[in-house]
Amino acid sequence: MANMSLEKIKMPEQAPDVRNKNFEEVALGYTAEMAVEEAQRCLSCKHKPCVSGCPVNVRIPEFIAEVAKGDFMAAYKVITSTNALPAVCGRVCPQESQCESKCVRGIKGEAVAIGRLERFVADWYMKNCDEMPEKPASNGKKVAVIGSGPSSLACAGDLAKQGYEVTMFEAFHKAGGVLVYGIPEFRLPKGIVQKEIDKLSALGVNIMTNMVIGKVLSIDEIIEDMGFDAVFVGTGAGLPSFMGIPGEALVGVYSANEYLTRINLMKAYLSEYDTPIRNSKAVAVVGGGNVAMDAARCAKRMGAEHVYIVYRRSEKEMPARLEEIHHAKEEGIEFHLLRNPVKILDNGNGQVCGIECLKMELGEPDASGRRSPVPVEGSNYVIDVDTVVMSIGTSPNPLIRSTTKGLETNRKGCLVVNEETNQTTREGVYAGGDAVTGAATVILAMGAGKKAATAIDEYLKQK
């Protein structure tokens, strides 16, 4: 008999006024008892609507049935047959707009906590029987994977398991891409990402850090001089946008990328690291996405007394996950909604001392279907801050496309690919993730990496 509770089992969490002073994980994870009880809420629908909501088609009712039985190992095997990074996805996937949005239990009450269960199973496995995979026999074919974020990890993992000799090139000194430089420790512990990278190494993937492809090597050299049979480009969307308003060059204005990289990758929050960061008292984060929430919550943890989210639409239009908005509010982040910055103010010494905003009203829906904000004339006011973090989006890095012949891009700079195979406009060169879609989610990137891996395998078998 299914557990007919209308609500999900609550996720144990660190208390807001405790966690906003540390970088440890906010959500603590289900216990085995909680997981079994939550799993029993699943109705095992025959038509499995949830699976259609998952970009990598995890066989959700099947793994949940195993959890309900208490066979966590079996559950893990079901999940990992289609998803290589369950500990990551269980934490950062927007389940509420994917699998859980299709859950029948969500019609009356809350959906089954699919994400939390996935995370539980992955963590259980890591804790109880984490063994490193063995390196399969080589099939003698070489594939280069450029970038080491979610799409590249998925692609490299799938290819390595099939015996391809995979070399992964990363520009930074550490592999993991946005999972290590962008998403903060308190949302995705870096130990989990490192474990996934270690697994790839165990599978025989050669990880070369400090390699900026497009500069140190071109894709042509990788293919012609180094003898790689195929290339996957998973270089993400890392180029930060600025608003183009006065004062953006003042000391104290960061892009979210820089701010988060200093904190997450370069560990500015740990005293043993030399990474400098501004000692902020009041911070305005401009933007309403997950990255903005991450930056704001980091600023709070770095000791800022006031942290503001400045967003030009209303909360309903915010692209951030509900859970992140909720967590941010709990932690004391102050929201200035329907506000648009027009100027960053100089304290006279070239440093930020405030941000001037204009109030906005919602007008007609725009191309994205969201109601577009319209300024209210004369409504300017100033928020006193010493730091501004711009989190208004990113676009793909031009380094690869500008140094590789025959790679077509669209007008936003995204690589053009065949939707079936993820092959670019050049034979043997595949791409996926944000480099193709523009800034999107971890799971979509992973799905693209997997799809490309399948296509690369087929291409190289025929070659």
- Residues in touch with other proteins (CB under 8 A): 171-173, 209-212, 215-217, 238-240, 242, 244, 248-252, 254-255, 257-258, 261-262, 266, 272-276, 278, 350, 397-399
* 293-316 burial code (b ≥16 CB/10 A, e <16): bbbbbbbbbbebebbbbbbbbbee
User: Shortest gap between Cβ of 282 and other proteins (angstroms)?
Assistant: 17
Based on CB atoms, which residue is closest to other proteins, 274 or 420?
274
Based on CB atoms, which residue is closest to other proteins, 29 or 238?
238
Based on CB atoms, which residue is closest to other proteins, 74 or 265?
265
Based on CB atoms, which residue is closest to other proteins, 242 or 381?
242
User: Shortest gap between Cβ of 216 and other proteins (angstroms)?
Assistant: 5
Based on CB atoms, which residue is closest to other proteins, 74 or 212?
212
Based on CB atoms, which residue is closest to other proteins, 260 or 357?
260
Based on CB atoms, which residue is closest to other proteins, 33 or 225?
225
User: Shortest gap between Cβ of 425 and other proteins (angstroms)?
Assistant: 23
Based on CB atoms, which residue is closest to other proteins, 63 or 181?
181
User: Shortest gap between Cβ of 214 and other proteins (angstroms)?
Assistant: 8
User: Shortest gap between Cβ of 310 and other proteins (angstroms)?
Assistant: 18
User: Shortest gap between Cβ of 390 and other proteins (angstroms)?
Assistant: 8
**Which burial class, exposed, middle or buried, applies to 12 when counting CB atoms under 10 A from its CB (0-12, 13-18, 19+)?**
exposed
User: Shortest gap between Cβ of 324 and other proteins (angstroms)?
Assistant: 22
User: Shortest gap between Cβ of 443 and other proteins (angstroms)?
Assistant: 22
User: Shortest gap between Cβ of 209 and other proteins (angstroms)?
Assistant: 7
User: Shortest gap between Cβ of 8 and other proteins (angstroms)?
Assistant: 37
Mapping DSSP onto H, E and C, the string for the chain reads CCCCCCCCCCCCECCHHHHCCCCCCCECCCCHHHHHHHHCCCCCCCCCHHHHCCCCCCCHHHHHHHHHHCCHHHHHHHHHCCCCCHHHHHHHCCHHHCHHHHCHHHCCCCCCCHHHHHHHHHHHHHHHHCCCCCCCCCCCCEEEEECCCHHHHHHHHHHHHCCCEEEEECCCCCCCCHHHHCCCCCCCCHHHHHHHHHHHHHCCCEEECCCCECCCECHHHHHHCCCCCEEEECCCCCEECCCCCCCCCCECEEEHHHHHHHHHHCCCCCCCCCCCCCCCCEEEEECCCHHHHHHHHHHHHCCCCEEEEEECCCHHHCCCCHHHHHHHHHCCCEEEECEEEEEEEECCCCEEEEEEEEEEEEEEECCCCCEEEEECCCCCEEECCCEEEECCCEECCCCCCCCCCCCCECCCCCECCCCCCCECCCCCEEECCHHHHCCCCHHHHHHHHHHHHHHHHHHHHHC
Based on CB atoms, which residue is closest to other proteins, 397 or 424?
397
285 backbone φψ class: left, alpha, beta (φ>0; ψ -120 to 50): beta
Distance CA 379, CA 262 (A): 35
Based on CB atoms, which residue is closest to other proteins, 391 or 422?
391
Based on CB atoms, which residue is closest to other proteins, 104 or 212?
212
User: Shortest gap between Cβ of 274 and other proteins (angstroms)?
Assistant: 5
From residue 446, how far is each of 337, 338, 364, 442 by CA, in Å? 33, 34, 35, 6
